[in-house]
Structure 1
Amino acid sequence: MSTTLPDVQLPAYDRARLTPGIVHIGLGNFHRAHQAVYLDDLFALGEGHDWAIIGAGVRPPDARMREALKAQDCLSTVIELDPSGRRARRIGAMIDFLPVEPGNGALIAAMTKPEIRIVSLTVTEGGYFMDPAGQLDAGAADIRADAASPAAPVTAFGAILAALKARRAAGTSPFTVMSCDNLPGNGHVTRQVVVGLARLFDAELADWVDAHVAFPNGMVDRITPATGERERAMAAAFGLDDPVPVTCEPFRQWVLEDDFPAGRPALEKVGVIFTDQVHAYETMKIRILNGGHALIAYPAGLMDVHLVHEAMEEPLVSAFLDKVEREEIIPIVPPVPDTDLSGYYSVIRERFSNPEVADTVRRLCLDGSNRQPKFILPSIRDNRAAGRVPKGLILGTALWCRYCAGSTDSGTVIEPNDPNWDALTARALRARDEPAHWLAMSEVYGELGQDAEVVAAFAAALDALWSRGARAVLTDYLGG
């Protein structure tokens, strides 16, 4: 008996006719389910065929990704996890993947070519070498290495500078540097890192980059789980032997500043929003979605819930999210063009509840020391500026502290889940008796750690979490 495999959507254009216009550094799942998909859609309209992607990376895992993708002609499998039925497509927007090598010579050479007009990045939120004050961490080992040997850099930013320097010497106009990472003001951050690194070894180059290179801000959004055996099995069900398929939710959004002096693809034709109000969209997304992730992740983690949609099925977690979002987050989010914030939040609840995505609570709990200052604490600050003590948000950050102590309420060990895990665990255990010790992390809490009302609310929440557990504390909070 024959079995009919589900249809797979293939590139609707002649890939042999594509020519490169973009070098993208960081070929993880998010890029392949986001930027590459938008370009694939544009190419299918018969437009922008001189904007194909050349992939690149600067870390050892990038070499493994290169090997996998080169073996399949740089095609990526993207499977949309719609509850009504999965859909698979092969994305053909990338036409090559550069060798990953010490000194990044191939990457620098590619970025030096005049036809490359955009260099884009997905190097993760923590990959920008920023210190707690929001400046370049000049003491980071890789930054010191690039400053000492700028012709053979180890970082993406060092490679970008080497290519820009070569283009300047050749009289070639600079490319635009476009961050696609989930950072507030990602364009501003990227400018600070690139210019700041240049100042460590060539002040004249730094001034030139600052004056002539565009770094547009952008907001990106699509939930994209990590790839494992489940995802590879999904690809196999479509008849695809792909070791690195990407799965993602159906929803996607991209908002960009239109600051591309060297030109850009007509991405507005496939749903990208170009606006001078990126910050408004970004604030909405970071506060409501990313902040919402944190609010469900830590109580769910302490209650031994493993998947995000299961956390949404837990009445206490779901109601906690709802109460904090509607009472403490949404009211202080500034207006966003053509967007109803309550409607946006309703869509987010649906996205979190999608069982097909099977996103993990552990992934949402990852790297809290980097994410809390961006996703939760700004909402606390805005509430305090309005004269309110946001007890739900403060409980949310107390839940993070309790999680970092390294065990769930049942006593199950929580494996390390932060680059600073050992230091956080030691601090969280001491905070059990001295709550203010946790808030003394100035690199995370800043002036909030000295706010007497915040300290009192945090101490009460943390004491209750230790003495009674997350379930009882959420019950009390929801009961007023």
Structure 2
Amino acid sequence: MSVQPVNLNNAALSSLPPHILRPAYDRAALRTGIVHVGVGGFHRAHQAFYTDQFMGKSGNTNWGICGIGLREGDSKIRDVLKKQDYLYSLLVKDPEGCASLQVIGCMTGFLMANENPQAVIDKMASPDTKIVSLTITEGGYNFIPSTGEFDFSHADVQHDLANPDSPRLVFGYLASALKQRRASGLAPFTVQSCDNIQHNGDVTRKMLTSYIRSYDEEMADWVSENVAFPNAMVDRITPVTTADDIAQVAALGLIDEWPVTCEPFHQWVIEERFSDGRPGWEKTGAQFVEDVTPYETMKIRLLNAGHTVLGILGSLHGFSTIDETVAHPVFSSFVRRFMDTEATPVLSPVAGINLDEYKNTLIARFANPFIKDSLTRICSQSASKISTFLVPTIKENVEQKGQTECAALVIAAWCYYSYYRATQQGTALEVIDDHAEILQSVAGGSESQARAFIGLSDIFGNLAKESAFADPYLQYVSSLFNGEPVQALMTN
């Protein structure tokens, strides 16, 4: 039976077909308790989902979310959400092909920082705002991967230091808003990272206080002593929305210009450290712990690194999605070998987690044929991802005389990928990386070029000098640039 789709907006909520779930709370009563920077698909499938579910179960509507866009490119999602009364739909696809659709209603607005910086600062500084959360990608934290220190050489940082009332980066906004709250005698908001960075809360604190300390020691001390930065592990595979997703949502009865697609699985492990209250996310499946370290390390070193392994190798082979890549037995066997022989040996035990079962679940999630997570997305900003997800495992294995063969092949494949920006068959690849030009300039098949590639100390530290890693890496680079298929190297 065909369904006549309706435009998504407040007026349509009461007339939606019964199979479409809708917010179970009064949206007119929403107050903005959370300001979120970086409203992408993951935030809308994860933190916003948890918040929407919590308000539906509790009736507590003090935790609405106001989105913040830092760049002009964010105006597209702002315009779509505004047109839809800040409603959007979440399309959950399971591996059997069943899909469920629900409308998420917890967003209260969306501000563009480049259009009105003071409005963003005022929103963060509002007494109603209890949490400022972030999904700004690994690269948005502006640290030097090899040292972990704040990168003051960044042009936008120099701009923000000179123009504190009209910053470009998130640290300028956080600093100004916290200064305003302190002057008003308000409790500071919690700064909550929802990005895939180990110790993401600690990193956020270090970056923000380093930034502030460069011009105001007293304020930096106040932030360090009074603002909570809970570490957290976040997990839900959320591919880029496609035209097919929009069509599927319409077939289910809803016209949504920018729905979000995700898998059924979701996980959020958070340290119980908040400055001024929080939603009861544990009522909707979040787990609060004293120390999130083992959980986040496990996830980053297995899921995120596994994605990167499959993304780089699959791209060279000519695959376009994660499920297509892991469906090939050579690729699924290789990523499991990496997990078993290189990642797992340097992981600490995780309470309540059977690592073999966890890895089995990851492979099954990767293989979901209805998610179609693109390798272009997986490989985007690879410089930040590899330095965060893969390099720490390599370094620990070098120190402990463990295995590095799988990782060496991945890095060699990344060198080829960065240089040619094409599959091994010559088909052009879309490379999205802030460091793409420098990566291409130092990459190449000669030994000097290959050494220069892993000589990028901001990414690899001193790994170029470690023969246990560098020797197999150089052999793999030579093989790849001489035309040996990546698939053949994976079975050696």
Q: Give TM-score scaled by structure 1 length.
A: 0.95
Aligned partners of 1:11 and 1:203: how far apart in 2? 45
Q: 1:374 aligns with which of 361, 366, 388?
A: 388
Q: Aligned-pair distance for 1:98?
A: 2.8
Q: 2:299 aligns with which of 271, 285, 295?
A: 285
**Which amino acid letter does the alignment assign opposite residue 382 of structure 1?**
E
Aligned partners of 2:299 and 2:387: how far apart in 1? 15
Q: Does 1:181 align with 2:195?
A: yes
| Equivalent position of 1:472 in the other structure | 488
| Equivalent position of 1:308 in the other structure | 322
Q: Aligned-pair distance for 1:422?
A: 2.2
Q: Aligned-pair distance for 1:103?
A: 5.0
Once the two structures are aligned, what percentage of the paired residues are identical? 39
Q: Aligned-pair distance for 1:283?
A: 0.5
Aligned partners of 2:154 and 2:450: how far apart in 1? 30
Aligned partners of 2:309 and 2:37: how far apart in 1? 31
Aligned partners of 1:422 and 1:161: how far apart in 2? 32
**Which amino acid letter does the alignment assign opposite residue 375 of structure 1?**
F
Q: In the TM superposition, what whole-angstrom CA distance separates every residue of 1:408-447 from its partner, at most 9, and x where no partner exists?
A: 2112233333222222123222546653222211111112
Aligned partners of 1:239 and 1:51: how far apart in 2? 28
| Equivalent position of 1:412 in the other structure | 427
After the TM superposition, which residues 145-184 of structure 1 pair with which residues of structure 2 at under 5 Å, given as runs?
A: 145-184=159-198
User: Where in structure 2 are there 5+ consecutive unaligned residues?
Assistant: 6-16
| Equivalent position of 1:122 in the other structure | 135
Contact 1:430 1:437 in 2 (8 A): no
Aligned partners of 2:48 and 2:228: how far apart in 1? 21
| Equivalent position of 1:385 in the other structure | 399
Q: In the TM superposition, what whole-angstrom CA distance separates every residue of 1:113-139 from its partner, at most 9, and x where no partner exists?
A: 112111111111111121232111112
After the TM superposition, which residues 19-168 of structure 1 pair with which residues of structure 2 at under 5 Å, given as runs?
A: 19-84=31-96, 85-102=98-115, 104-132=117-145, 133-168=147-182
Q: Does 1:425 align with 2:440?
A: yes
**Which amino acid letter does the alignment assign opposite residue 13 of structure 1?**
Y
Contact 2:233 2:296 in 1 (8 A): yes
Cα 1:430/1:423, change in 2 over 3 Å: farther
After the TM superposition, which residues 174-253 of structure 1 pair with which residues of structure 2 at under 5 Å, given as runs?
A: 174-253=188-267
Q: Aligned-pair distance for 1:99?
A: 4.6
| Equivalent position of 2:21 in the other structure | 9
Q: Give TM-score scaled by structure 2 length.
A: 0.93
Contact 2:36 2:65 in 1 (8 A): yes
Contact 1:103 1:151 in 2 (8 A): no
Aligned partners of 1:74 and 1:83: how far apart in 2? 29
Contact 1:220 1:253 in 2 (8 A): yes
Contact 1:78 1:91 in 2 (8 A): yes
Contact 2:213 2:220 in 1 (8 A): yes
Secondary structure at the counterpart of residue 103 of structure 2 = strand
Contact 2:305 2:389 in 1 (8 A): yes
Q: 2:353 aligns with which of 333, 339, 347?
A: 339
Q: In the TM superposition, what whole-angstrom CA distance separates every residue of 1:272-307 from its partner, at most 9, and x where no partner exists?
A: 111122111010001110111122112211111111
Aligned partners of 1:2 and 1:371: how far apart in 2? 43
Q: Aligned-pair distance for 1:90?
A: 0.3
Q: Aligned-pair distance for 1:97?
A: 2.1
Q: Aligned-pair distance for 1:96?
A: 2.1
Contact 2:194 2:200 in 1 (8 A): yes
Cα 1:417/1:159, change in 2 over 3 Å: closer
**Which amino acid letter does the alignment assign opposite residue 442 of structure 2?**
R
After the TM superposition, which residues 321-336 of structure 1 pair with which residues of structure 2 at under 5 Å, given as runs?
A: 321-336=335-350
Instruction: Compare 422-431 and 298-307 and name the one that shifted more.
Output: 422-431
**Which amino acid letter does the alignment assign opposite residue 284 of structure 1?**
M
Aligned partners of 2:472 and 2:168: how far apart in 1? 44
Contact 2:78 2:110 in 1 (8 A): yes
Aligned partners of 2:245 and 2:3: how far apart in 1? 21
| Aligned residue pair count | 476
Contact 1:281 1:336 in 2 (8 A): yes
Q: In the TM superposition, what whole-angstrom CA distance separates every residue of 1:206-251 from its partner, at most 9, and x where no partner exists?
A: 2211121111111111111112312211221122221111111111
Instruction: Compare 278-287 and 231-240 and name the one that shifted more.
Output: 231-240
| Equivalent position of 2:10 in the other structure | none
Contact 1:102 1:152 in 2 (8 A): no
Secondary structure at the counterpart of residue 376 of structure 1 = helix
Q: In the TM superposition, what whole-angstrom CA distance separates every residue of 1:299-337 from its partner, at most 9, and x where no partner exists?
A: 211111111111011121111112221122122211111
Secondary structure at the counterpart of residue 226 of structure 1 = coil
Contact 1:62 1:100 in 2 (8 A): no
Contact 2:226 2:275 in 1 (8 A): no
Aligned partners of 1:128 and 1:241: how far apart in 2? 35
Secondary structure at the counterpart of residue 360 of structure 2 = helix
Secondary structure at the counterpart of residue 194 of structure 1 = helix
Cα 1:13/1:223, change in 2 over 3 Å: same
Secondary structure at the counterpart of residue 144 of structure 2 = coil
Q: Aligned-pair distance for 1:62?
A: 2.2
Cα 1:431/1:335, change in 2 over 3 Å: farther
**Which amino acid letter does the alignment assign opposite residue 17 of structure 1?**
A
Aligned partners of 2:389 and 2:169: how far apart in 1? 26
Instruction: Compare 415-424 and 218-227 and name the one that shifted more.
Output: 415-424
Instruction: Compare 323-332 and 116-125 and name the one that shifted more.
Output: 323-332
Secondary structure at the counterpart of residue 193 of structure 1 = helix
Cα 1:242/1:285, change in 2 over 3 Å: same
